[in-house]
Amino acid sequence: MSTSGNDRCRRCGAEIPGDSTDHLCPACLMSGALKPSDSETGTPAPAQEEATSRYERLQFPREFGGYRLLGLLGRGGMGTVYEAEELATGRRVALKMLEQELDSPDLRQRFLREGRLAAGVNHPNSLYVFGSEEIEGLPVITMEIAGSGTLKDRLDREGPLPVTDAVDAILDVITGLEAAFAEGILHRDIKPSNCFVSPDGSVKVGDFGLSVSTLARVDTFVTNPGQIMGTPAYASPEQLRGDNLDLRADIYSVGATLYTLLTDRAPFEGENVVQVVANAINNPPTPMSEWQTDIPPELERVVSRCLAKDPEGRFSDYMALRNALLSFSSREPEPASLKVRASAGWIDFLIAFLVPYVILMFSIGNEAFHFRLIMERTLASASHYLVFIGCGLLYFTLAEGFWGGGFGKRFRGLRVVRPDGRRPGPGRALLRILLPVLGVEGIRIPIVLTFITATTINDLTTAEIVVYSAATSLCPLIPILFTLKARRENRFATLWDMLSGTRVVVNPKGTLRAAIEPATRLSDSLEDAEQIGPYLITGELIPGEWLAATDPILRRPVWLRRRDASGPSDARREIARQGRLRWLQKVESDETTWDAFEAVPGTPLSTLIEGGQRLPWATLRHWLHDLASELLAAAGDQTLPEELSLDSVWITTRGHVLLLDDPWPGVENRAESVAVADLAGQQRFLSSIAAHVDSTGLPLHTRPVLRNLAEGKFDKLTFLTGTLLGLLEKPAEVNRGVRAGAIFMVPFYTWVMIFVGAHQGADWLYRIIGDSAGAVALTAAVVVLAASALVQLLSLPFHFSGGHSIFRLAVVDARGEPAGLSRLLIRWAIVWLPLLVPVLLAALMSRGAGITAAFIPILIVLLLWLAAAAQAVIHPHRGLHDRLAGTWVVRR
């Protein structure tokens, strides 16, 4: 049976199934991996004969519908992209049109589906789709033009990118993919040629030709079940097998793209398509260090994790991948302050030294551990002491050398690095911990050996006991002297930081924004809908002035604003920022001219604060920074409205802020407008928004900033924007881990030390309470808690608390101000008296019967008190005792 020309590959002539909608054989579909110079887009270029006959006869510039074509940007198997100028506005755009020889109902549907998916994503790191239309019988998608080529073009020019440049580019890609996934879209074809570079250097994700929707709301047209799509060198194994995909498939492609940016090599290569696919499915990629020696091993591990064959072995989401990459970006890490390092050091110290201390105390006893070295003064007598010190040194050497920090630093979001950002390695890590340990033990041991001459513990004099106690208590304070030169100017570098060539920095992390439920839902019914230009009208916000509509092809909602005499300025039409609505096009209707803007699901800010509702600082800080950034940009390009109000602030469902050109009309009680032509007005506007923050959750470090904002003290908007950006890097809420550390860490450490010492060396205590480890443990707990209560009571006038100070917490009242002495005293009584009073009564009532009789009631009271403490951990911002006292716990 003969095969028609339609059943042969239009590129190589090979026979193909008759139902193929691509008119390409599988080899040509996948050949992008083998010929990245001209077909890396995943939909291969036409045969050279076709390309020549089709493109060489075009002369640029030439008019095409309402556009002037300026030149060819690129082409693939299904579409051609031109740089064009919109005749009506002069706007530069990219026009993507379907190849005429490929025009068919199926391919036209697939072509428009790409525009529909891309139009659902509005983000600075994704190419924006302005609209879709038909010109000269061909479907055309109008898109944002990146202007500086692709990452593939940059690789061709420069070769492998520096680490920071490559990671910065991939972080932009991740952000664009994250925005797409938030709209239910998997890209499925991420690679360097689909990552477009803007003139400002930012990278945008484009070419959604192989994307699929994870939501049923878009359409049901997808590639045939089991059909393998994408470029093999960048496609995940499950994608090559035709399996079901989730976002981890795109994470794989991101890792493969980063591999290429760093090495200028694809992670999997071969002499033919089959070999590439086999290598991608079965073999690990060649280590990047074989191509480039300056790639940090930690970064190579991140890429390897992205390229795991099993999706379970990859990063679970974009946030986790972003956090793993941020430390390799050009973003300068924030130096960790000494106060934050103190709490992290406490936790690491407990882990490093408390565990071997407990083991040694129980195995050899109090006397052998503390005094054998002093009494015998031999190497053998120092063995247990050396084991104790060695365990601590080993913990810090391994944890900081190989992982950049122990549990304490990781818990507090810190890491130890060299000046080049790499982990310190075991040598530097050992030097870091040796300096403070030698500073303590190098002075304590000579002192006790010099002043203590007793050869048995029973021979110790009172003076020798005082010397031993003083040296053991005071020498650990010596490392504080090593920190006296630490200043913000030298990035809080301590002496051991300087000598070891390391520094402690805050581990950068991305933040999630709270999703907002849209308060206004417009009807999307298209039955009997009036049409204006390409749009179908779905409702009226202001009759005759502001209409809600939809694009029936892209299935995207839009707003139509009646144009006044002048219409939007050129600068306003060109705005492509996330903080403003995109202007799409001018639409003529009878004698009325309309401006089409994108319509973003969300709600005006004024509806979120109706009835005096307060906004959490963790959310509001992002909105303030978004607004300040947009005010700064709008003032620069003169697109700032003359007046703004709370009704002009639109909160999207993804938690971002849009500044509307006019107040939202669907608000009953209009907010007061503020003139924002000058800096004073801009600060008043931002302050009117900040005034709605929940003051009881406001960190203390934020209060001076908001106070200065309310008083208009910022000299420049850039200063304000930078300050708000800095607040995004600081903790906004009290989490459970920090609250648990503040409540339990110091008492637990003290209890362990007392219990172990009493259990091993206090025979007199056993004679009083009986030969029971449980009784000793309970007694030690009561003693520790009573001492903690006393210390906290004495420190109330100074607004000081050990746990709160270490973990940088504070107690505030209903106004958000630091709680006064009377309020703190009430809080102290609510916390401690329910524990101490019953324990004291139980002890007094059992005096005649012995301490054992009080064991059970005291244990019950203690467990109830611990349950209340646990409740405060579960509700870290305001536990039960804070509710009773009228106080809140916030970040300092």
Average pLDDT, the chain: 79
More confidently predicted of 798 and 819 = 819
- Lowest-confidence pick of 235-244, 405-414, 741-750, 761-770: 761-770
pLDDT range class, residue 210, cuts 50, 70, 90: very low
Q: Facing residues of 45 across strands?
A: none
Longest C-alpha distance within the chain, in Å?
A: 112
- Phi, psi at residue 195, to the nearest 5°? -115, 110
325 located within any domain: no
pLDDT the model gives residue 848: 52
317 located within any domain: no
Which of the listed residues 87, 122, 143 is the one where a domain comes to its end? 143
853 located within any domain: yes
Considering the domain architecture, whether residues 439 and 386 belong to the same structural domain is answered as yes
Answer yes or no: is pLDDT of 850 > 60: no
Distance CA 557, CA 578 (A): 17
Considering the domain architecture, whether residues 191 and 240 belong to the same structural domain is answered as yes
The tens digit of pLDDT for each residue in 332-352 reads 778 888 888 888 888 888 888
Considering the domain architecture, whether residues 651 and 601 belong to the same structural domain is answered as yes
476 located within any domain: yes
More confidently predicted of 642 and 528 = 642
Which of the listed residues 299, 328, 360 is the one where a domain comes to its end? 299
Which structure tokens are listed for 594?
């309309």
pLDDT the model gives residue 382: 84
DSSP per-residue codes, 383-394: HHHHHHHHHHHH
Considering the domain architecture, whether residues 225 and 251 belong to the same structural domain is answered as yes
Answer yes or no: is pLDDT of 845 > 90: no
Considering the domain architecture, whether residues 192 and 116 belong to the same structural domain is answered as no
Distance CA 182, CA 170 (A): 18
Q: With beta carbons less than 8 A apart as the criterion, state whether 559 and 520 touch.
A: no
Q: How far is CA 300 from CA 258, 290, 691, in A?
A: 10, 11, 46
pLDDT range class, residue 3, cuts 50, 70, 90: very low
Q: How far is CA 856 from CA 156, 775, 839, 844, 851, in A?
A: 77, 10, 11, 14, 10
Q: What would the mean pLDDT of 47-61 be, rounded to a whole number? A: 48
Q: What would the mean pLDDT of 507-521 be, rounded to a whole number? A: 69
Domain coverage including residue 874: 736-891
CATH code where residue 239 lies: 1.10.510.10
Residue 275's closest CA among 331, 213, 329, 233?
233
Answer yes or no: is pLDDT of 726 > 60: yes
Across 13-27, 259-273, 513-527, which has the greatest mean pLDDT?
259-273
327 located within any domain: no
Distance CA 103, CA 562 (A): 37
Q: What would the mean pLDDT of 250-263 be, rounded to a whole number? A: 91
Please pick, among 168, 189, 250, 348, the residue that the annotation labels catalytic: 189
At 105, which amino acid appears?
Answer: P
DSSP annotation of 352 reads I
Considering the domain architecture, whether residues 363 and 375 belong to the same structural domain is answered as yes
Q: What is the dihedral of CA 666, 667, 670, 674, to 10 degrees?
A: -70
331 located within any domain: no
pLDDT the model gives residue 100: 59
The tens digit of pLDDT for each residue in 747-788 reads 888 877 777 766 655 554 444 445 556 667 777 777 888 888
b/e for 233-266, b at 16 or more Cβ within 10 A?
bbbbbbbbeeeebebbbbbbbbbbbbbbbbbbbb
Q: What would the mean pLDDT of 533-551 be, rounded to a whole number? A: 87
Distance CA 268, CA 266 (A): 5
Considering the domain architecture, whether residues 399 and 458 belong to the same structural domain is answered as yes
Look-up of token digits 């300050």: 723
Distance CA 285, CA 255 (A): 11
Residue 891's closest CA among 657, 618, 507?
618
Answer yes or no: is pLDDT of 267 > 70: yes
- Lowest-confidence pick of 108-122, 219-233, 275-289, 843-857: 219-233
Q: What would the mean pLDDT of 506-527 be, rounded to a whole number? A: 66
Distance CA 140, CA 95 (A): 7
Distance CA 372, CA 366 (A): 9
Which structure tokens are listed for 335?
């130096």
Answer yes or no: is pLDDT of 270 > 90: no
Which structure tokens are listed for 415?
């890491």
Element (H, E) at 593: strand 592-598
pLDDT the model gives residue 682: 92
30 located within any domain: yes
Considering the domain architecture, whether residues 838 and 798 belong to the same structural domain is answered as yes
Considering the domain architecture, whether residues 183 and 234 belong to the same structural domain is answered as yes
pLDDT the model gives residue 24: 44
Q: What would the mean pLDDT of 165-192 be, rounded to a whole number? A: 86
104 three-state secondary structure: coil
Answer yes or no: is pLDDT of 213 > 50: no
At 724, which amino acid appears?
Answer: L
Q: What would the mean pLDDT of 671-677 be, rounded to a whole number? A: 87
pLDDT the model gives residue 853: 62
Considering the domain architecture, whether residues 548 and 693 belong to the same structural domain is answered as yes
Distance CA 631, CA 659 (A): 9
Which structure tokens are listed for 881?
């005792």
DSSP per-residue codes, 743-778: HHHHHHHHHHHHHHHHHHH-HHHHHHH-S-HHHHHH
117 located within any domain: yes
Distance CA 618, CA 620 (A): 6
Q: Which stretches within 476-596 are classed as H helix?
A: 495-500, 570-574
Considering the domain architecture, whether residues 573 and 696 belong to the same structural domain is answered as yes
Sign of CA pseudo-dihedral 385, 389, 392, 393: negative
CATH code where residue 135 lies: 3.30.200.20
The tens digit of pLDDT for each residue in 424-437 reads 888 888 998 888 88
At 355, which amino acid appears?
Answer: V
- Lowest-confidence pick of 169-173, 239-243, 871-875: 239-243
189 carries an active-site annotation: yes
Distance CA 10, CA 47 (A): 8
Considering the domain architecture, whether residues 775 and 823 belong to the same structural domain is answered as yes
pTM to 2 decimal places: 0.80
Which of the listed residues 709, 733, 757 is the one where a domain comes to its end? 733
Contacts of 471 (CB under 8 A, 6+ apart): 443, 444, 447, 448
The tens digit of pLDDT for each residue in 822-842 reads 888 998 888 888 888 887 777
Q: Facing residues of 83 across strands?
A: 71, 94
pLDDT the model gives residue 33: 31
Residue 68's closest CA among 82, 53, 52?
82
Q: What would the mean pLDDT of 214-240 be, rounded to a whole number? A: 54
More confidently predicted of 646 and 856 = 646
Name the domain count of the chain. Answer: 5
